[in-house]
Amino acid sequence: MSGMSDAKPGRLIAWFVSATAVGCGCDLQSKAWAERTLEGLPSQTMSVVEPWLDLTLAYNRGTAFSVIGDLGSARWIFGVLAVVVVALLVGMLLRWGRDRIDALAMGAVAGGAIGNGVDRVFRGAPGGGTGVVDFLQINYPWGGHWPLFNVADALLAVGVAVLLVRGVLARPGVDAPPTTVAT
C-alpha cells in the first residue's frame, strides 16, 4: 500500500489502535514485573547479559533523562499531554497515513506516550508521589551506561525513528504527506 487511496481509514485506525494497545499493555506489564522482581534484590539490579545489559529498578519523577528532576503537581500536565499526543497522531494518521507501517509507528508512539503518562499520574513511587518506572540499563564497554529507560521509551524512539526515516525517504509528490502554505 503506497497511497492513501489504497489505505482505508478504518483499517489504518485498526492498526493504530492495535499497536497502541499492545505497546501500552506491554509497557505497563513490564513495569509491574520489574517492580515485583527487582524490588527485593540488592541494589535492585539483575544482570541479564553481563556486562552489557542490566535490569535496575528506578523511579523517574521528572522528565526524560531527568532534565527536570521532579515534576511535582505538574505531572498532570504530562498526563494530559499524553492524551493530546494520541489525538494529534490520530489526526495525522487520517490526513497523511499511507499504510499500516505509518499506523504501526504512530501506534507505537501513542502506546509509549500513554504508558509513561499513566505512570506519571498514577504509579506510586517509594517515598511518596508518583514516578515513571525505568528498569532497562545498557552498559558501555568503556564504563558507565545509557540513562535508564523502559518499554514506553523504546516504543517512542522506534516509532519516531520509523516516521522520520519514512519521511526522509518518501518520494516527493507520491509518498510524502502534502504540504500547504498559508497565504
CB neighbourhood size of 119 (10 A): 27
Which of 54, 99, 153, 175 is catalytic? The answer is 153
In angstroms, the first-to-last Cα distance of the chain is 33
Which of 70, 99, 134, 175 is catalytic? The answer is 134
Annotated catalytic, 70?
no
- The answer to whether residues 110 and 97 touch, using CB atoms and an 8 Å cutoff, is no
Annotated catalytic, 27?
no
Identify whether 141 is preceded by a cis peptide bond (ω within 30 of 0).
no
Q: Where does residue 133 fall: left (phi above 0), alpha (psi -120 to 50 degrees), or beta otherwise? A: beta
28 exposure class (CB count in 10 Å sphere: 0-12, 13-18, 19+): buried
Catalytic residues: 134, 153
